[in-house]
Each structure stands twice: as structure tokens, then as C-alpha cells.
């Protein structure tokens, strides 16, 4: 069985993974040999009764199937049980999908309608990758958990794609020279106000979503369409999984926590699931010799769930909810203060979405609320922030005629942020009792946006998309206009050329409008993208090369003393290369991504144009997996990158009034951290101990060679010497087990 077929076959079962921001590797279940099977049989015909031979008939959940014979008859055996989706495809006919119940004694009768004459669709877009069970699949949820070192984190798996320079060890998406805040993360059409856990400069961040909560992700590294606003660099548009096809219970235990997931397939048209987990990394840290780094080891609780209802063949509604808490206490040794950094955070999300099709008209909508609360404490620093984003959006697609389609929509966001605390008057003096700036305010505002576009495909192999959007934010009290255009041309069957140009705006974080530390007069930030690329894809092997240039204006950022500064400019240019395919004679499946970038932007402390702090000039990611047997799989990943720039400290001046040394900084971003490299391994074993049971044992080793990567430099009290501070990802072993219990 090929890796691709195995990846699709497991969709019928899903494992509950411990949601923990540590180094996790897990493998989802696959169908087990030797289970009892039932026969699926039937016929496929035209409306007039004529037989349709050569039709591909298969089960969506397992990919088991057969072709119809010359009489239009098919038959195959399946180990699936309960409601499944039967898919029938034949060139020149409209696809048919029907939910059936297995085992089934009666034959299935399928009638296929002739498809209208249409142009061949071109789905390759400049800067875009579609991940999961979406068109142009390049990375599935199993690829996420199969990626060694990704910690079963979808965002860390996305980092193995081109256009994402290696910036630190966190899950943040620093896309093509942009800051983490320049990527808009969405779930079921709703913006996630806090997509990362522990997203501070004192801890290593992780994404909030389990890969098995997601059906797929549309990730765009630039040049994205007009339906996406309020994002300067990139969009990660996530889709949650739908209703389960069977009822089952999954439980898991690992060195860092326990979890459980209950799935209920209520009927052929409705169902849902709920997941709960508790993570405590004390044992993990002790086993890997890192317990002494924490006053309080990372711990979390998670509760999430989803329900879906298909009220008719073309209509669907889905609700998704999530609640999470995180706590950590890290021991920090800074020249100005040695103590414990503590963070206590929580986040929630409720999103309701739906779609329906009325002839040639498609309608998609969503309403949601997303919130977060975070309290931080380190020396003189106190920060307490609570955010709430309430939103709604709708989109209409219309197929006008041969080669012409229209789309339009609108969105609304209401934002509130309660911000309070104190920050040191100077970043060098953070000891308790140091002079501080006290702040506190409630920032509220709204943003309205509308967009429209036309898609033209004058002939097979050529596609244009032209559109524009307009947004008005009460924070900036301005209207922005964003024209965008993209083109795809397929001169040969397996070759596609792409290009995109566009204007993009984003409203600064509400913190930047806070009157004490910010500037209430800040305008929206702006970027202009220009992208050109070429892709070769023969179904077995993919090669993609893109070149880009991005220019910034009106950038807003914070100084090291936490003061907001506007008016920044910048530019990023680079080349991305992506390869993906199988190596049959070695039995390997792999992908490789290389990125070159040259980026600069205004340094907020000096006001000078300097190398971007997110400019890792060269980044290389190689991921390989291999199935040793049908139920044993191993993986390896190699990551290497140029060190990112930082501003060095040249000397220090003693301040007698406080008895501390004040650093004097050198040229902005004039030095770089040492080059980064890491090698990770993973393995998993599947076993069945009783009927309909699947048990998975997994183990992973991160940073196998224990390379001492440097995350920053630690200075002594008078800044006369500095010591490399090792990255938190030293050699680490993680292991656990999950099992499936049908009911």
C-alpha cells in the first residue's frame, strides 16, 4: 500500500492526541488486515438507462473500490462498518456522492448526469499551497504528525514549506521577511485572535490546533485573493473536520499527559465529536534533564468539540468550539534581573459556519467570537491583556457561463482589548522597584470590509483573476483600497506558470493605539506583493520555484522599551524552491523546501533601515518517511538555516542612582546568530488487540545529535562578556500510546 493511499485510508479513524506544547509524534490508524468485510455492489447508468463502463466507484473514507465493467456493474469488499460515502466518478459525467450504511445486502443503483462542457480548471495559484483534504493536496493531517520534530503541530509542519525562514524554535509563521503578526490565521472562515500558545519572547510558542481537528488548510505565502483582508504577508485558512462516520472512543497517554476523544455518528446527516486533554510536562522535563529550568513546568487543559448537520445534499452547517488554558514559570537570568517569568493564559473560540448551493450560485457564511486572556509577570514587568473579536462574513460565488465566474462578499469585525500593567522605563533595568511606565486602557473598534472579483478562463490552460477590496477601520479612521490580480498559464500538461500582484493592508494591534505606550493616530500598514513562479507536477513528482518582491510602508512596531513606533518601511525579495515525491527504489516519500531571502525594514529603536530580524538568508528543510512494514513507519527530518540578525551591545554605562549598567547598542541588526541545524527521528508501531481496535505506539527523538543551537546571547551584569544561550530544543525523547474503542 503506498503512503498516499494509506494516508487517505485512515480518514475513517482518528486518534486523540495529547494536546501539549512539547515534542510530540503520533500516527493515525490505518485499516487492519484480517477484519471481517462486507460486499458493496451495484450498477451505474445514464438517465436513459444506458450502462456506464469504466466509472471509478470507491468509498471516500477507505478508498476501497472498483471500476464498473462494460455492463456498468461494480462490486468490491470493504472492512468498513456504519455510514460511509460512496463516490462515483467518470470523465464527462458529474460526480455522484451517496451515503450508504455498511454492511449492506441490497445493490446500489447510481444514475450519472452528463457534465456540461467546461474548461479545465487551473488550481495552482501564486504563493498558495492547499493542505489536507482540499484541492491540490500537498500535506495531509497525517503528514503533520508524520513530520519528525513538528510536535504534531500543523503550524510547525507548515514551516517545512518554502517562504518561511527559520526564525527561532516557535510555531510562528514568519513569512517572506514578515513578522508573525502579518499572517492571518482563520478557522471555518473566522479569524483566530490568539492562534499560538505561549507566544511571548520568553517561551517557545505552539499552535492551538490538533491536526486531527482539521480537514485541511489553505496556506498562502503571498499574493492571496481579495476575500482575505487585514493581512500583510500570508493567510492560513483552516477548515475543521466534519461529522464522524462512526461512533468511537479514543484514549491516549504519553510521557506528558492524557487525552480522550468521543465521536458520535448520530445519523447519515449529522454527528459530532468532543475532545478533552490534560498536559503536565514534569515527567518529560525530568526524563530529559530540563526540570531545573522551570519554576512551574508547562501545563495545559483543553476542551474542544464540533457538530455538523447536512440539512440537504447541497446544504451544510457546522459549529466548532474550543477552550484552552496554559501556565508556565521559566527561570530567567538577565543582567538587570534574575527571577521567574510567569505566564497564565486562556483562549476560546466559537465558530458557526455553513454553505449551500442554489443552481449556479454558491453561498458561504460564518459568525464567530474569539477571545484570549494573558497575564505575564517578570520583575518590574506586569502585563494583563484580554481580547475579544466578534465577527461575521459572507461570500457568494456565481458561475456566469463558460470560463466566467464572479465572487463577492463582506465581513465585519468588532474588536475590544483591555490592556493594563507596567513596563520598565528602560529594558535594561527590570528588577522589582525599578522605574516603570504604568498603563491601562480599553481599546475598542470595528472593521468593515467588502470585496469582489471576476475569474476569466478564455481557453484551457489560461486563467485570470482580477479583484479589489475596500476596508474601513475605526481604529485608523481611514478607508483602504486593495486591487489584486493573478494569472495562471499552463503551456503544457504538467507545467504551470503563475504570477500575482496586489496591495495589502493591515490594522496595527490594538496595543499600538494605547495612549500611554502607543500612537492613536497610526494608519493601516501596507505591503505590495509581486510574485512569479513555475511548477511542474506529473502526479508523482512536484517541483515548484517562485520569486517574489514585497515592499512595506507605514509599518508599526515596538521598541525594546515597549513603545510603539509608526512610519516604518521595508522590502523583502527572495526565491523559494519546493520538491515533493516518492523515491520508489528506496521506498521513501519526501519533500524538500529551500528559501533564499534578502529583507530589510526600519529598526524601531534607531529609526534606521536595517536587515530584518526575520531574515534567515538560507533555510533548508528535508523530510523523509518510510514504511518498514505495513504497520511500522519511520521518519527523519533535517533542518538548517542561516542565523537571524540581532543588534549587538558594544559597551555599557554605569547608573549610580540605580546601581545598574545601561547597555549601549551597536549598529542595528549588524550581527547574526550562528547557523542553525537540527536532525529529528520518529517511529510508530500499530497493533490490533481485538476486533475494531487499533493501538498506536509512538516515539520521537528531537535534535538527535544534541547540536547546541544558539537562540540568543546572555550578558554578564556589566555587559563586558556574553555567553551563548542554548536553544530549548536540546536532545529530547518523547513517547506514548493511543487506542481506539468503538461503541
- Tell me the CA distances in angstroms from 548 to 163, 529, 531, one per residue in order: 10, 7, 4
Residue 14: domain span: 6-111
- Confidence class for position 255, pLDDT limits 50, 70, 90: confident
Q: How far apart are the first and last CA of the chain?
A: 28
Residue 145 has a pLDDT of 66
Report yes or no on 418 lying in a domain: yes
Q: Residue 251, exposed/middle/buried by CB under 10 A (0-12, 13-18, 19+)?
A: middle
% pLDDT > 90, the chain: 45
What would the mean pLDDT of 635-658 be, rounded to a whole number? 93
Residue 137 has pLDDT above 60, yes or no: no
Residue 117 has pLDDT above 50, yes or no: no
Tell me, what CATH number does 632's domain have?
2.40.170.20
Please say which residue of 111, 134, 156 terminates a domain: 111
% pLDDT > 70, the chain: 89
- Name the grid cell of 110: 447510481
Q: What's the total number of domains in the chain?
A: 2
Q: What's the rounded Cα separation, in Å, for the pair 151 and 205?
A: 12
Whether residues 463 and 321 share a domain: the answer is: yes
Whether residues 32 and 136 share a domain: the answer is: no
Query: pLDDT tens-digit profile of 574-623?
Result: 999 999 888 777 788 888 999 999 999 999 999 999 999 999 999 999 99
- Confidence class for position 289, pLDDT limits 50, 70, 90: confident
Tell me, what CATH number does 66's domain have?
2.60.40.1120
Query: pLDDT tens-digit profile of 321-345?
Result: 999 999 999 888 888 888 899 999 9
Query: pLDDT tens-digit profile of 521-564?
Result: 999 999 999 999 998 988 778 899 999 999 999 999 999 988 99
Residue 92 has a pLDDT of 66
Residue 143 has a pLDDT of 64
Residue 437 has a pLDDT of 92
Residue 122 has pLDDT above 70, yes or no: no
Report yes or no on 571 lying in a domain: yes
Residue 135 has a pLDDT of 35
Whether residues 428 and 555 share a domain: the answer is: yes
Whether residues 98 and 176 share a domain: the answer is: no
Please say which residue of 111, 146, 179 terminates a domain: 111
Q: How many CA atoms lie within 13 A of 210 on its CB side?
A: 27
What would the mean pLDDT of 101-128 be, rounded to a whole number? 66
Residue 206 has pLDDT above 80, yes or no: yes
Rounded to the nearest 10°, the torsion over CA 53, 59, 63, 69 is: -20
Q: What's the rounded Cα separation, in Å, for the pair 68 and 435?
A: 79
Q: Average pLDDT over the chain, rounded to whole?
A: 85
Report yes or no on 423 lying in a domain: yes
Residue 127 has a pLDDT of 57
Whether residues 541 and 432 share a domain: the answer is: yes
Residue 594 has a pLDDT of 95
What would the mean pLDDT of 52-70 be, rounded to a whole number? 82
- Residue 246: which residues within 8 A CB-CB, separation 6 or more? 12, 81, 82, 83, 263, 265, 742
Residue 520 has a pLDDT of 93
Report yes or no on 264 lying in a domain: yes
Residue 20 has pLDDT above 50, yes or no: no
Report yes or no on 1 lying in a domain: no
Residue 457 has a pLDDT of 85
Whether residues 245 and 311 share a domain: the answer is: yes
Query: pLDDT tens-digit profile of 650-701?
Result: 999 999 888 889 999 999 999 999 999 999 999 988 888 887 778 888 888 9
Q: What is the DSSP letter of 137?
A: B
Residue 141 has pLDDT above 80, yes or no: no
Whether residues 391 and 519 share a domain: the answer is: yes
| Span of 265-269, 282-286, 374-378, 556-560 with lowest mean pLDDT | 265-269
Residue 142 has a pLDDT of 58
Report yes or no on 116 lying in a domain: no
Whether residues 589 and 685 share a domain: the answer is: yes
Please say which residue of 111, 142, 162 terminates a domain: 111
Residue 314 has pLDDT above 50, yes or no: yes
Whether residues 641 and 576 share a domain: the answer is: yes
- Name the grid cell of 7: 494516508
Report yes or no on 458 lying in a domain: yes
- Specify the length of the chain in residues: 743
Q: Of the candidates 64, 168, 150, which has an alpha carbon nearest to the alpha carbon of residue 698?
A: 150
Residue 386 has pLDDT above 90, yes or no: yes
- Name the grid cell of 37: 468485510
Report yes or no on 97 lying in a domain: yes
Whether residues 405 and 381 share a domain: the answer is: yes
Residue by residue, DSSP assigns 493-520 as TTEEEEEEEEEEEEPPPGGGG-TTTS-T
Residue 14 has pLDDT above 70, yes or no: no
Residue 125 has pLDDT above 80, yes or no: no
- Residue 230: which residues within 8 A CB-CB, separation 6 or more? 184, 191, 413, 447, 449, 471, 505, 506, 507
Residue 26 has a pLDDT of 26
Q: What is the DSSP letter of 221?
A: S
| Span of 239-243, 291-295, 443-447 with lowest mean pLDDT | 239-243
Whether residues 587 and 709 share a domain: the answer is: yes
What would the mean pLDDT of 492-518 be, rounded to a whole number? 92
Q: What's the rounded Cα separation, in Å, for the pair 129 and 164?
A: 13
Residue 704 has a pLDDT of 94
Whether residues 604 and 583 share a domain: the answer is: yes
Q: What's the rounded Cα separation, in Å, for the pair 354 and 362?
A: 11
- Confidence class for position 124, pLDDT limits 50, 70, 90: low
Parallel, antiparallel, or unpaired for β 108-111 and 38-45? parallel
Amino acid at each position: 500500500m503506498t503512503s498516499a493511499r494509506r494516508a487517505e485510508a485512515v480518514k475513517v479513524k482518528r486518534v486523540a492526541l495529547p494536546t501539549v506544547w512539547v515534542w510530540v509524534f503520533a500516527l493515525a490508524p490505518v485499516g487492519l488486515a484480517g477484519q471481517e468485510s462486507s460486499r458493496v455492489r451495484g450498477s451505474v447508468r445514464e438517465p436513459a438507462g444506458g450502462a456506464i463502463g469504466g466509472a471509478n466507484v470507491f468509498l471516500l473514507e477507505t478508498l476501497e473500490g472498483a471500476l464498473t465493467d462494460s455492463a456498468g456493474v461494480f462490486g468490491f469488499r470493504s472492512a468498513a462498518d456504519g455510514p460511509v460515502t460512496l463516490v462515483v466518478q467518470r470523465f464527462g459525467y458529474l460526480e455522484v456522492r451517496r451515503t450508504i450504511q455498511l454492511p449492506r445486502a441490497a445493490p446500489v443503483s447510481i444514475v450519472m448526469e452528463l457534465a456540461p462542457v467546461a474548461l479545465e480548471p487551473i488550481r495552482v495559484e501564486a504563493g498558495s499551497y492547499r493542505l489536507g483534504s482540499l484541492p491540490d493536496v500537498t500535506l495531509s493531517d497525517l503528514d503533520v504528525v508524520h513530520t519528525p520534530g513538528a510536535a504534531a503541530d500543523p503550524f510547525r509542519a507548515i514551516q517545512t514549506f518554502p517562504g518561511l525562514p527559520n526564525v527561532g524554535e516557535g510555531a510562528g509563521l514568519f513569512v517572506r521577511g514578515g513578522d508573525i503578526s502579518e499572517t492571518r490565521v482563520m478557522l471555518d472562515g473566522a479569524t483566530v485572535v490568539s492562534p499560538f500558545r505561549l507566544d511571548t519572547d520568553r517561551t517557545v510558542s505552539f499552535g492551538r490546533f490538533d491536526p486531527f481537528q482539521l480537514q485541511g488548510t489553505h496556506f498562502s505565502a503571498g499574493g492571496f485573493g481579495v476575500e482575505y483582508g487585514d493581512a500583510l504577508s500570508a493567510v492560513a485558512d483552516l477548515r475543521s473536520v466534519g461529522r464522524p462516520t462512526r461512533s468511537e472512543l479514543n484514549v491516549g497517554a504519553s510521557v506528558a499527559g492524557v487525552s480522550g476523544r468521543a465521536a458520535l455518528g448520530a445519523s447519515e446527516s449529522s454527528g459530532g465529536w468532543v475532545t478533552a486533554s490534560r498536559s503536565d510536562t514534569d515527567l518529560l522535563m525530568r526524563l530529559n534533564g530540563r526540570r531545573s529550568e522551570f519554576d512551574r513546568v508547562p501545563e495545559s487543559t483543553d476542551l474542544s468539540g464540533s457538530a455538523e448537520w447536512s440539512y440537504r445534499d447541497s446544504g451544510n452547517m457546522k459549529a466548532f468550539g474550543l477552550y484552552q488554558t496554559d501556565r508556565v514559570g521559566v527561570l530567567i537570568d538577565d543582567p538587570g534581573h534574575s527571577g521567574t517569568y510567569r505566564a497564565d493564559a486562556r483562549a476560546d473560540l466559537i465558530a458557526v459556519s455553513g454553505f449551500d448551493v442554489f443552481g449556479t450560485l454558491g453561498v458561504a457564511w460564518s459568525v464567530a467570537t474569539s477571545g484570549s486572556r494573558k497575564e505575564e509577570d517578570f520583575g518590574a514587568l506586569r502585563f494583563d491583556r484580554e481580547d475579544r473579536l466578534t465577527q461575521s462574513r459572507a461570500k457568494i460565488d456565481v458561475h456566469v457561463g463558460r470560463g466566467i465566474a464572479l465572487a463577492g462578499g463582506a465581513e465585519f469585525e468588532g474588536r475590544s482589548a483591555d490592556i493594563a500593567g507596567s513596563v520598565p522605563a528602560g529594558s535594561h533595568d527590570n528588577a522589582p522597584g525599578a522605574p516603570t511606565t504604568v498603563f491601562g486602557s480599553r481599546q475598542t473598534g470595528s472593521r468593515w470590509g467588502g470585496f469582489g472579483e471576476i475569474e476569466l478562463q478564455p481557453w484551457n490552460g489560461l486563467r485570470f483573476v482580477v479583484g479589489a477590496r475596500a476596508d474601513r477601520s475605526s481604529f485608523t479612521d481611514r478607508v483602504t483600497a486593495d486591487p489584486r490580480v493573478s494569472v495562471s498559464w499552463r503551456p503544457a500538461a504538467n507545467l504551470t506558470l503563475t504570477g500575482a500582484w496586489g496591495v495589502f493592508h493591515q490594522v496595527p494591534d490594538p496595543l499600538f493605539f494605547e495612549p500611554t505606550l502607543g500612537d492613536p493616530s497610526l494608519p493601516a500598514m501596507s505591503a505590495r506583493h509581486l510574485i512569479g513562479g513555475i511548477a511542474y507536477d506529473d502526479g508523482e513528482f512536484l517541483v515548484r520555484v517562485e520569486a517574489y518582491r514585497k515592499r512595506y510602508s507605514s509599518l508599526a512596531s515596538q521598541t525594546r522599551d515597549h513603545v510603539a513606533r509608526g512610519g516604518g518601511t521595508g522590502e523583502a525579495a527572495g526565491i523559494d524552491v519546493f520538491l515533493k515525491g516518492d523515491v520508489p527504489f528506496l521506498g521513501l516519500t519526501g519533500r524538500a523546501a529551500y528559501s533564499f531571502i534578502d529583507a530589510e525594514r526600519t529598526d524601531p529603536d534607531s529609526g534606521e533601515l536595517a536587515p530584518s530580524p526575520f531574515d534567515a538568508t538560507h533555510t533548508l528543510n528535508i523530510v523523509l518517511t518510510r514504511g518498514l512494514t505495513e504497520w511500522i513507519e519511520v521518519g527523519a527530518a533535517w533542518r538548517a538555516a542561516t542565523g537571524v540578525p540581532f543588534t549587538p551591545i558594544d559597551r555599557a554605562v554605569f547608573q549610580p542612582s540605580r546601581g545598574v549598567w545601561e547597555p549601549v547598542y551597536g549598529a542595528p541588526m549588524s550581527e547574526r546568530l550562528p547557523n542553525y541545524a537540527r536532525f529529528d527521528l520518529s517511529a510508530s508501531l500499530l497493533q490490533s488487540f481485538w476486533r475494531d481496535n487499533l493501538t498506536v505506539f509512538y516515539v520521537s527523538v528531537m535534535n538527535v545529535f544534541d547540536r547546541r543551537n544558539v537562540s540568543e546571547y546572555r550578558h554578564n551584569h556589566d555587559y563586558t562578556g556574553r555567553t551563548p544561550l542554548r536553544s530549548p530544543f536540546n536532545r529530547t525523547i518523547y513517547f506514548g500510546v493511543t487506542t481506539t474503542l468503538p461503541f
